Chain A
């Protein structure tokens, strides 16, 4: 299913004693393989997440526009996104393979579908807090429904929308680690390789630590953006 990574696992004949004995953490291995293994995996991981969250955000916005305008649609949209969210990630990847093959598309479709529930719910919660008078005056000044949505309602719903974006981004960083079950991309790949090759600890701890660090870093970045963009939230 997956292609074994390149020069990832140390050659057990000539590695350092730490590498040969599979010690808890071999710094020299990280130095040697940052360039050929870890850095490319990190870049791929960020790409996977950025594409998924961006597409998820656009789709969720469209769904929120529909679900908020036409209340009848809200329950079905919520139900479908909840259904998608319930499917185990590894299973969703495999169910998609007959349709989209062993491709990045398969991974992205799965990642996008997990962002929908979180983004959609938060957008609806945010939109409900927008005062009716504000919307009325926008409509009265000649804004179309779409203009009102994009330029008035979404900006005012921003605190909840950004909270959704934050949760969706962190979750996607985490779920993207499963990608190597379909394609050899992202920080899951070095972990997957290391598991297959005698549970090489250094690689597992480094790549695993990088995923967690990436998630926490993006989390912090969005919190800061939230503070800068929605100063009215702080009392």
Chain B
């Protein structure tokens, strides 16, 4: 238990360092998540809207799960060398599958009657997607984004071994920070992941359509 006393003492003594590393961590995770959203969300939603590419949507998540974060980071390092892109690329690759797959199934499995009604009212394909399918499927889309965020924050920790910065730098450097520092940073990054997860869960709750009140 002494280690935990050390850990909390470390948090008190090195708050500034932890906050700095947290900022780096959020920056790296946020950039990767942002790029992954830009790439995966339109593709997933559009394929779901067309009810095409089931093989891609299901396959990408199966393959994505089989890609270990350490392997992706190591591959990124051999291809891009040390820098911003090796880790960002690895994190983006990891974040795409849950976002794409959930976006696809959110739209693909959308209530057919609602979609038919929208079409009958003369909505174009884009309007159906943006005004009917996306709002109805939003909770599931957000569930995918939440999983992606958890993956990205966890992997950004490991990215420290490839010059990624962030809280992982403290975790992998026991020689400098001691076990107390390592545990402190571990608790800190867990809190960060939990906070991100809670925020996205809250957004999901707000976005969930309430029963009986149609917009």
Contact = CB atoms under 8 A, between A and B. Distances in A.
Contacts of B75: 204-205, 208
A85 B197 CA distance: 11
A19 to B, nearest CB: 15
Nearest to A181: B172
Interface of A: 1, 83, 85-92, 94-95, 97-98, 167, 170-171, 173-175, 177-178, 181, 188, 191-192, 194-195, 199, 201, 204-205, 207-208, 211-212, 215-216, 219
A98 B179 contact: yes
Contacts, number: 121
B156 to A, nearest CB: 8
19 contacts: A86-B193, A87-B193, A91-B185, A91-B190, A92-B186, A94-B182, A94-B183, A95-B187, A174-B65, A174-B66, A174-B68, A191-B71, A199-B74, A199-B77, A204-B78, A205-B75, A207-B71, A208-B74, A208-B75
B47 interface: no
B7 to A, nearest CB: 9
Contacts of A194: 74
B124 interface: no
Given A88-B157, A92-B186, A98-B183, 9 more contacts: A88-B154, A90-B172, A95-B183, A167-B65, A171-B65, A173-B68, A174-B66, A174-B68, A215-B66
What DSSP secondary structure best describes chain B's contact surface? helix
A56 to B, nearest CB: 16
A95 B183 CA distance: 6
Chain B interface size band reads: 35 or more
B136 interface: no
B150 interface: yes
Contact of B70 (A86, A88, A178): A178
Given A171-B65, A174-B67, A91 B157 contact: yes
Nearest to B151: A88
A195 B75 CA distance: 10
B158 interface: yes
B1 interface: yes
